[in-house]
Amino acid sequence: MSTPTTTGGPAAARVVAALRAAGLTVATAESLTGGLVCAALVDVPGASAVVRGGLVAYATELKASLLGVDAGLLARTGPVDAEVARQMARGARTRLGADVGVATTGVAGPGPADGHPAGTVFVAVAADALPGGAAARRLALAGERARVRQAAVEEVLADLAGLLGAA
Protein backbone atom coordinates (compact mmCIF):
# COMPACT_ATOMS: atom_id res chain seq x y z
CA MET A 1 0.00 0.00 0.00
CA SER A 2 1.47 3.34 -1.00
CA THR A 3 1.23 6.42 1.14
CA PRO A 4 0.25 9.64 -0.60
CA THR A 5 2.48 12.60 -0.03
CA THR A 6 1.05 15.87 1.19
CA THR A 7 3.64 18.01 -0.47
CA GLY A 8 2.81 20.03 -3.53
CA GLY A 9 6.51 20.57 -4.14
CA PRO A 10 7.64 23.48 -6.26
CA ALA A 11 4.12 24.25 -7.49
CA ALA A 12 2.85 24.88 -3.95
CA ALA A 13 5.86 27.06 -3.20
CA ARG A 14 5.28 29.07 -6.40
CA VAL A 15 1.60 29.50 -5.54
CA VAL A 16 2.29 30.68 -2.00
CA ALA A 17 4.96 33.12 -3.23
CA ALA A 18 2.67 34.47 -5.96
CA LEU A 19 -0.23 34.88 -3.53
CA ARG A 20 2.03 36.74 -1.09
CA ALA A 21 3.39 38.99 -3.83
CA ALA A 22 -0.14 39.82 -5.01
CA GLY A 23 -1.51 40.28 -1.49
CA LEU A 24 -4.14 37.58 -2.07
CA THR A 25 -5.53 34.76 0.06
CA VAL A 26 -6.73 31.28 -0.88
CA ALA A 27 -9.22 28.72 0.45
CA THR A 28 -9.74 25.12 -0.58
CA ALA A 29 -12.81 22.92 -1.05
CA GLU A 30 -11.91 19.28 -1.39
CA SER A 31 -13.66 16.01 -1.95
CA LEU A 32 -11.51 13.21 -3.38
CA THR A 33 -8.26 14.86 -2.22
CA GLY A 34 -9.49 14.94 1.39
CA GLY A 35 -7.41 17.94 2.45
CA LEU A 36 -4.25 17.22 0.46
CA VAL A 37 -4.44 20.53 -1.45
CA CYS A 38 -4.62 22.56 1.74
CA ALA A 39 -1.88 20.41 3.28
CA ALA A 40 0.37 20.97 0.25
CA LEU A 41 -0.05 24.73 0.61
CA VAL A 42 0.55 24.81 4.36
CA ASP A 43 3.67 22.67 3.93
CA VAL A 44 5.26 25.83 2.47
CA PRO A 45 6.89 28.12 5.03
CA GLY A 46 5.01 31.41 5.18
CA ALA A 47 1.72 29.89 4.05
CA SER A 48 -0.08 31.35 7.06
CA ALA A 49 0.03 34.74 5.34
CA VAL A 50 -2.09 33.51 2.43
CA VAL A 51 -4.00 30.33 3.30
CA ARG A 52 -7.37 31.07 4.93
CA GLY A 53 -8.34 27.42 5.38
CA GLY A 54 -9.92 24.44 3.75
CA LEU A 55 -13.15 22.50 3.84
CA VAL A 56 -13.32 18.78 3.15
CA ALA A 57 -16.78 17.92 1.88
CA TYR A 58 -16.38 14.25 1.07
CA ALA A 59 -20.08 13.38 1.43
CA THR A 60 -22.28 14.75 -1.34
CA GLU A 61 -24.76 16.48 0.98
CA LEU A 62 -21.91 18.40 2.65
CA LYS A 63 -21.09 20.02 -0.68
CA ALA A 64 -24.50 21.69 -0.42
CA SER A 65 -24.61 22.43 3.31
CA LEU A 66 -20.98 23.52 3.83
CA LEU A 67 -20.08 24.97 0.44
CA GLY A 68 -23.41 26.16 -0.92
CA VAL A 69 -23.43 23.89 -3.98
CA ASP A 70 -26.92 23.83 -5.47
CA ALA A 71 -28.70 20.74 -4.10
CA GLY A 72 -30.75 20.45 -7.31
CA LEU A 73 -27.56 20.37 -9.35
CA LEU A 74 -26.14 17.64 -7.12
CA ALA A 75 -29.36 15.64 -7.51
CA ARG A 76 -29.21 15.98 -11.33
CA THR A 77 -25.50 15.47 -11.97
CA GLY A 78 -24.02 13.95 -8.85
CA PRO A 79 -20.84 15.34 -7.32
CA VAL A 80 -18.53 14.53 -10.25
CA ASP A 81 -19.31 17.52 -12.45
CA ALA A 82 -17.66 20.71 -13.71
CA GLU A 83 -20.35 23.03 -12.35
CA VAL A 84 -20.21 21.30 -8.97
CA ALA A 85 -16.45 21.94 -8.91
CA ARG A 86 -16.96 25.61 -9.83
CA GLN A 87 -19.58 26.03 -7.11
CA MET A 88 -17.33 24.31 -4.59
CA ALA A 89 -14.48 26.72 -5.41
CA ARG A 90 -16.82 29.71 -5.14
CA GLY A 91 -18.18 28.32 -1.87
CA ALA A 92 -14.73 27.95 -0.35
CA ARG A 93 -13.89 31.48 -1.38
CA THR A 94 -17.10 32.90 0.08
CA ARG A 95 -17.38 30.78 3.23
CA LEU A 96 -13.73 31.25 4.21
CA GLY A 97 -13.37 34.86 3.10
CA ALA A 98 -10.59 34.34 0.58
CA ASP A 99 -9.68 36.13 -2.64
CA VAL A 100 -9.28 32.83 -4.51
CA GLY A 101 -10.93 29.44 -4.07
CA VAL A 102 -9.88 26.07 -5.43
CA ALA A 103 -11.79 22.79 -5.53
CA THR A 104 -11.39 19.12 -6.33
CA THR A 105 -14.13 16.54 -6.90
CA GLY A 106 -14.08 13.20 -8.65
CA VAL A 107 -13.47 9.48 -8.42
CA ALA A 108 -10.14 8.34 -6.98
CA GLY A 109 -10.90 4.64 -7.36
CA PRO A 110 -10.16 1.86 -7.26
CA GLY A 111 -13.44 1.34 -9.11
CA PRO A 112 -16.09 3.55 -10.69
CA ALA A 113 -18.46 5.72 -8.66
CA ASP A 114 -21.47 7.86 -9.51
CA GLY A 115 -21.39 6.53 -13.08
CA HIS A 116 -17.81 7.69 -13.70
CA PRO A 117 -14.67 5.60 -14.08
CA ALA A 118 -11.85 5.92 -11.57
CA GLY A 119 -9.61 8.83 -12.46
CA THR A 120 -12.45 11.14 -13.54
CA VAL A 121 -11.70 14.39 -11.72
CA PHE A 122 -12.80 18.00 -11.94
CA VAL A 123 -10.63 20.78 -10.57
CA ALA A 124 -11.75 24.38 -10.32
CA VAL A 125 -10.46 27.82 -9.43
CA ALA A 126 -12.67 30.75 -8.45
CA ALA A 127 -11.44 34.35 -8.63
CA ASP A 128 -12.67 37.74 -9.79
CA ALA A 129 -10.22 37.65 -12.71
CA LEU A 130 -11.94 34.63 -14.30
CA PRO A 131 -14.88 34.90 -16.72
CA GLY A 132 -17.98 34.09 -14.71
CA GLY A 133 -15.89 34.08 -11.56
CA ALA A 134 -14.72 30.46 -11.85
CA ALA A 135 -13.22 27.95 -14.25
CA ALA A 136 -13.23 24.15 -14.10
CA ARG A 137 -11.33 21.49 -15.95
CA ARG A 138 -12.08 17.78 -16.45
CA LEU A 139 -9.20 15.37 -15.99
CA ALA A 140 -8.83 11.70 -16.83
CA LEU A 141 -6.08 10.57 -14.46
CA ALA A 142 -4.41 7.18 -14.53
CA GLY A 143 -2.98 5.11 -11.74
CA GLU A 144 -3.92 3.75 -8.37
CA ARG A 145 -6.01 5.71 -5.88
CA ALA A 146 -3.09 7.50 -4.20
CA ARG A 147 -1.68 8.56 -7.58
CA VAL A 148 -5.05 9.90 -8.79
CA ARG A 149 -5.42 11.94 -5.61
CA GLN A 150 -1.87 13.33 -5.81
CA ALA A 151 -2.25 14.13 -9.52
CA ALA A 152 -5.46 16.05 -8.72
CA VAL A 153 -3.49 18.12 -6.19
CA GLU A 154 -0.77 18.82 -8.74
CA GLU A 155 -3.29 19.80 -11.42
CA VAL A 156 -5.30 22.23 -9.29
CA LEU A 157 -2.07 23.83 -8.01
CA ALA A 158 -0.90 24.18 -11.63
CA ASP A 159 -4.19 25.90 -12.53
CA LEU A 160 -3.83 28.25 -9.58
CA ALA A 161 -0.21 28.97 -10.47
CA GLY A 162 -1.27 29.75 -14.04
CA LEU A 163 -3.95 32.16 -12.84
CA LEU A 164 -1.37 33.92 -10.67
CA GLY A 165 1.24 34.03 -13.44
CA ALA A 166 3.49 31.73 -11.44
CA ALA A 167 3.44 28.71 -13.75
The string of pLDDT tens digits covering residues 16-64 is 999 999 999 999 999 999 999 999 999 999 999 999 999 999 999 999 9
Average pLDDT score over residue span 82-99: 98
What does each C-alpha distance from 150 to 5, 101, 142 come to in angstroms?
A: 7, 19, 11
Alpha-carbon gap, residue 95 to 91, rounded angstroms: 6
Record the pTM.
0.94
Residue 80's SS3 state is coil
In this structure, are residues 16 and 44 in contact, taking their beta carbons and an 8 Å threshold? yes
Q: Inform me whether the pLDDT recorded for 118 exceeds 80.
A: yes
Instruction: For the sheet with 120-126, list strands across it.
Output: 51-56, 26-30, 100-106, 120-126, 134-140
Taken in order of first residue, the domains within the chain and their CATH numbers are 9-163 (3.90.950.20)
Give the pairing type, strands 120-126 and 26-30.
Answer: unpaired
Percent of the chain with pLDDT over 90: 92
Say if residue 98 is exposed, middle or buried (CB neighbours under 10 Å; 0-12, 13-18, 19+): buried
- 132 CB contacts (<8 Å, ≥6 apart)? 86
- Percent of the chain at pLDDT > 70 equals 95
For residue 28, what are the β-bridge partners?
54, 102
